[in-house]
């Protein structure tokens, strides 16, 4: 049976390195499932794999879109399923890696169905965001759907507005549409997660942000600043620097906010991925031979 080995875990934990080692062992390709690495204009701030890493295994869905294109998890699900059908014809074992839990679940389990709602609702919510800030929308979401409030990237205006427009447009919580019956997949999934003590994760995040800045994150964000309202740019690492360019924050404070918000993001990632009790969890320093051995025990005979 075709098998998709999926590597998950918090940001900066070492998922890319592990996925490449597994791809080389199984002679397979890698599907990237990072919702920020799709965009070719964003490379430094999204920690796109280095050229030597991209050359070490065939990657898909990395910098294949522009921030000026509309792209979402529903389209991604369809794109990946088409690509996997093609790849499984070459090799019954393929690798997927990424920290975007919603996108991982869309591929593995299927995307949740949401009814169409009046576009005017989104317009009104966007106006409220621009007038009152995201805090107003966050409070509204907490009141209408506390479950979603606790699980989504609450600092991401696009995600908050999406949840709210469903709540308002249907009269039902956004979370009530999650995890309904979905189409069965034609492949088996083995999910492996990387973990570390919180202090180690936070230290790796802080060092990664420093390296990004040394590599030109400030200049990359400056080039994107004229387009700061695009959905693709409503993400940690860029949003904080836009505040600096707006003159609202000092640079040192913006950098500290990037680190703080990335740490909060990592915490949400772990909360999301730990919901799946079938995930094999490994220490981030675990020997690759041990990981491969345990994964191979779960492969179809």
Query: Any known ligand binding at 16?
Result: yes
CB 7 within 8 A of CB 199: no
Tell me the C-alpha distance between 285 and 22, whole Å. 15
**Helix axis angle, 134-144 relative to 119-132, nearest 10°?**
130
CA-based nearest residue to 23, from 51, 50, 60: 60
Reduce the DSSP state of residue 54 to 3 states and report it. helix
Q: Is 228 annotated as a binding residue?
A: no
| Residue 17 known to bind ligand | no
Enclosing H/E stretch for 238: none
Hey, what are 160's tokens?
A: 């908050």
Is residue 7 part of an annotated ligand binding site?
A: no
Give dist(CA 40, CA 62) in Å, integer: 8
Going by DSSP bridges, is the β-strand pair 93-97/3-8 parallel, antiparallel, or unpaired? parallel
The annotation status of 13 as a binding-site residue, yes or no, is yes
| Beta strands across the sheet bearing 280-283 | 59-60, 30-32, 93-97, 3-8, 188-195, 280-283
The DSSP symbol for 180 reads -
Instruction: Tell whether residue 14 is among the known ligand binding residues.
Output: yes
- Residue 10, annotated ligand binder? yes
Cβ neighbours around 248 below 10 Å, total: 10
Kindly report the backbone phi and psi dihedral angles of residue 97, in degrees, each rounded to the nearest multiple of 5, phi listed first.
-140, 140
* Distances in whole angstroms, Cα of residue 205 to Cα of each of 112, 139, 187, 208, 290: 31, 29, 34, 5, 26
109 is in an annotated binding site: no
- Give the three-class secondary structure for 146: helix
Residue pair 44/238 in contact (Cβ under 8 Å)? The answer is no
Cα separation of 140 and 146, whole Å?
10
Can you say which residues are annotated as belonging to the binding site for ATP? 9-16
Can you say which residues are annotated as belonging to the binding site? 9-16
Can you say which residues are annotated as belonging to the binding site for substrate? 11-16
């Amino acid at each position: 049976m075709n098998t998709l080995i999926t590597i998950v875990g918090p940001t900066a934990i070492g998922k890319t390195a592990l996925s490449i080692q597994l791809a080389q062992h199984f002679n397979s390709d890698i599907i990237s499932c990072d919702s920020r690495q799709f965009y070719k204009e964003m490379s430094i701030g999204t920690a796109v794999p280095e050229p030597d890493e991209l050359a070490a295994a065939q990657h898909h869905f990395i910098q294949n879109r522009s921030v000026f294109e509309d792209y979402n998890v529903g389209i991604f699900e369809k794109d990946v399923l088409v690509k996997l059908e093609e790849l499984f014809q070459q090799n019954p074992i393929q690798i997927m890696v990424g920290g975007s839990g919603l996108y991982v679940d869309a591929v593995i389990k299927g995307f949740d169905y949401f009814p169409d709602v009046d576009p005017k609702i989104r317009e009104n919510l966007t106006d409220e965001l621009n007038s009152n800030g995201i805090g107003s929308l966050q409070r509204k979401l907490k009141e209408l759907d506390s479950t979603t409030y606790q699980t989504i990237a609450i600092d991401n205006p696009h995600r908050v507005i999406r949840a709210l427009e469903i709540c308002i447009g249907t009269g039902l919580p956004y979370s009530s549409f999650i995890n309904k019956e979905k189409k069965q997949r034609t492949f088996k999934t083995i999910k492996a997660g990387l973990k570390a003590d919180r202090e180690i994760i936070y230290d790796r995040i802080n060092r990664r942000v420093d390296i990004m800045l040394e590599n030109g994150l400030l200049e990359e964000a400056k080039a994107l600043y004229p387009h700061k309202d695009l959905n693709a740019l409503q993400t940690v690492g860029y949003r904080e620097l836009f505040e600096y360019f707006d003159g609202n924050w000092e640079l040192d404070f913006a950098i500290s906010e990037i680190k703080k918000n990335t740490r909060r993001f990592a915490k949400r990632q772990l909360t999301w991925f730990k919901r799946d009790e079938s995930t094999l969890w490994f220490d981030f320093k675990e020997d690759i031979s041990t990981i491969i051995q345990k994964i191979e025990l779960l492969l179809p005979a």
